Amino acid sequence: DKSLVTRKNESLEQPEVALVVDLSRSVVAGNKADAIRRIAAMLGFCLLNRGLALRLYNGREYTGRYFGKKKIQQLTAKIKALPQNGYSHLEYVLATAAPVRNVIIISDLLFSGGPEQLKACIKPGMADCSLLAVSTQEERQPQLHGNYKLIDAQNGTARQYYINDQLIARYARLRLDYFRQIQQYCQGRNWNYFQLEAEAQISQLMKLLAPTQHLTI
């Protein structure tokens, strides 16, 4: 398996990783914030435990640099306290994180502009990027029938829908195509792409993102 974090410059004593934690409106409204915090804390533990320096970003905010096992508790507390600020994280943070060659983004990867909006955020200087797409059971298999008012989590606009099996099937096709485009984009750049379930237990996440499999340097 391709490593989640790779050392591109062997002369670096402390290879750095930018960990981008998305707590934007779609994440909060979709009940994914706690799962994303949990995944970020787990990855932070693994990265610091393996001797990498970590820069933590939330939205447009740079929250600090951490290095060494003694910083694990401080990092975990910081991740737990991250504000749910509702910023569109990639548009702002990737430009700041670009000097760091390794970038890990934990997000639902939902953009109003579709996959093209994601591509527009990517900066040429980013050599290695890993995208972790977090979703809930309600997103993957919505159990909705009847009249509903759907509200856009990003801009607050509302629209009335009658939801039936045909609309659910169309949603499933569009969602599959949306994330397939993101996956193909990552494959074309030789980047890692993972789909993670918000309901997954830590043991399941560790099996997928275990240091011995994906966090080698």
Cβ atoms 131, 36 nearer than 8 A:
no
pLDDT at 95: 62
pLDDT at 214: 46
Spatial neighbors of 73 by CB under 8 A, at least 6 apart, are none
Q: What average pLDDT does range 92-102 have in this prediction? A: 65
CA 208/CA 12 separation, integer angstroms = 27
Q: What average pLDDT does range 174-185 have in this prediction? A: 93
Computed over every residue of the chain, the mean pLDDT equals 79
Q: Determine the residue type at 127.
A: A
Residues above pLDDT 70, as percent of the chain = 76
Higher-confidence residue: 123 or 119? 119
CA 12/CA 102 separation, integer angstroms = 13
Write out pLDDT tens, residues 130-147.
889 999 998 998 888 888
Distance of CA 173 to the CA centre of its chain: 22
pLDDT at 41: 92
Is pLDDT above 90 for 13?
no
Higher-confidence residue: 188 or 209? 188
Strand intervals (E) in 75-185: 102-107, 128-135, 146-151, 158-163
Residue in this structure with the two tokens 């290695």, named with its chain if needed: 128
